[in-house]
Structure 1
Amino acid sequence: MSFRSGPSPLLKIIAALALVLLAGPASAHLDESLTGGFLAGFHHPLSGPDHLLAMVAVGIWGAFLGRPLVVLLPVIFPTVMAFGGALGMAGVPMPPVEIGIALSVLLLGGAIAFAWRAPVWIAVTLVAIFAIFHGYAHGAELPSIADPIAFSLGFVLATGLLHVAGILLGLLNDRPGGEIATRVVGGLIAATGVYFLYRAIP
């Protein structure tokens, strides 16, 4: 591969990642009357960089791993996340949730950075475990939400779109310099996960 072709996908991935990271603060001015509805649910995954990065990373890793995981991982995450949400609503005791979420960002980013071609069952198990922590964190908030059904629908839709965004970024693997670019982004996600973990540990 030529050196000239390398930076192009890298710049595209970093620019896209920067845009999704900026989405949270930019939309923080939602009208308070929307709190608890569909738009609030849609906004919620975009407002927390830890959740956002984990969901995008699931899509990137799935695209890197190829079939069947490019389809399985984005389906398993929201499905198991709903189960985690039910645990959160029920108040079932869990290990420290923020640590689990930080580890999901760290380990998913690391899997991308090191181009880890995990077996199907390991990739599915890891993503499912991480999804429980993410779902639990949001489920614990749902009882105080004005319209939990509309909120949940918006949340699931935004989660799916973040997975799709990650898959589209991961598809750059097939372009010249694309694998290097996605691995660099994976390293940046993992480094952010280290920061989240530092903040989560008492």
Structure 2
Amino acid sequence: MMKRTMRGLIAATCLAAAAGAAQAHTGHGTSSLFDGLVHPFGADHLLAMVAVGVWSVSAWPANKAWQGPATFLLALIASSALGRLGVGVPYLEHGVSLSVVVFGAMLWFAGRATVSPAVGLGVIAAAASLHGLVHGAETPESGFAGYAAGFLLTATVLHLGGVGIGLAIRRRLAEHKRWALGGLGALFSAAGFYLFGQLA
């Protein structure tokens, strides 16, 4: 059972990285609900949001696990609005890719050490802000509402997917939680470095 579950996690991570090498920041429109629904399936966004869901379930008690995804979504929409107004930071795409590396490290530490909730939420909010600035910068003035609704909906689904993976690790791999999270974290970080390398 453990080997089958781990193989599934590894395969999902590798497929996400391979499918999103282009990072979904080009090649589609940014002015409709559908465009917003599609955008977060770029590997950098997808991996980051799934990682937040996994980490939240793994690092915190069940009654507080919602705080990680909620923090990400709030920071995402706020920074998207700023991005739409022209606010940006240097090397934004690089920062988004490195956020996947950071979330992978958080998963690795989740099975080995306790992370302060404030620190965890701060990292999530900062990373989500980078993702939001990317979303907002690509949105024309006429299409922000529909586009934002779309990417928020998909982001929520991706977080729930991460929560599901975290619950599966907790229930099926309880005795091997440390290794499962460590392996998953290493895969996420490796994918983040790969995506970063594609920008060089």
TM range (shorter): 0.7 to 0.9
Q: Which runs of 5+ in 2 are unaligned?
A: none
Within a 5 Å distance, the mapping from 1:178-193 to structure 2 comes to 178-193=177-192
| Structure 1 position 125 matched with structure 2 position 122 | yes
Match of 1:142, SS? coil
The separation in 1 between residues aligned to 2:168 and 2:177, in whole angstroms, is 5
Equivalent position to 1:148, from 125, 144, 151: 144
- Maintained 8 Å contact 2:30/2:139: no
What is the one-letter code of the residue matched to 1:10? M
The separation in 1 between residues aligned to 2:60 and 2:157, in whole angstroms, is 18
- Residue 113 of structure 1 is matched in structure 2 by 108
| Structure 1 position 70 matched with structure 2 position 42 | no
What is the one-letter code of the residue matched to 2:136? G
Based on CA coordinates, which of the two structures has the bigger radius of gyration? 1
TM-score (norm 1): 0.82
| Structure 1 position 134 matched with structure 2 position 128 | no
CA drift of 1:133 comes to 0.4
What is the one-letter code of the residue matched to 1:6? M
Q: Which runs of 5+ in 1 are unaligned?
A: none
Match of 1:114, SS? helix
C-alpha change, 1:69 and 1:97, in structure 2 (3 Å) is farther
CA drift of 1:57 comes to 0.7
What is the one-letter code of the residue matched to 1:52? L
- Maintained 8 Å contact 2:31/2:140: no
| RMSD over aligned Cα atoms | 2.4
Within a 5 Å distance, the mapping from 1:1-202 to structure 2 comes to 5-18=1-14, 36-46=31-41, 48-67=42-61, 69-115=64-110, 116-143=113-140, 147-174=143-170, 175-176=172-173, 177-200=176-199
- Maintained 8 Å contact 2:32/2:147: yes
The number of residue pairs the alignment matches comes to 189
Cα deviation, 1:95-135, whole Å, max 9, x if unaligned, reads 32112212210010111123343100000100000011000
The separation in 1 between residues aligned to 2:14 and 2:119, in whole angstroms, is 30
C-alpha change, 1:78 and 1:12, in structure 2 (3 Å) is same
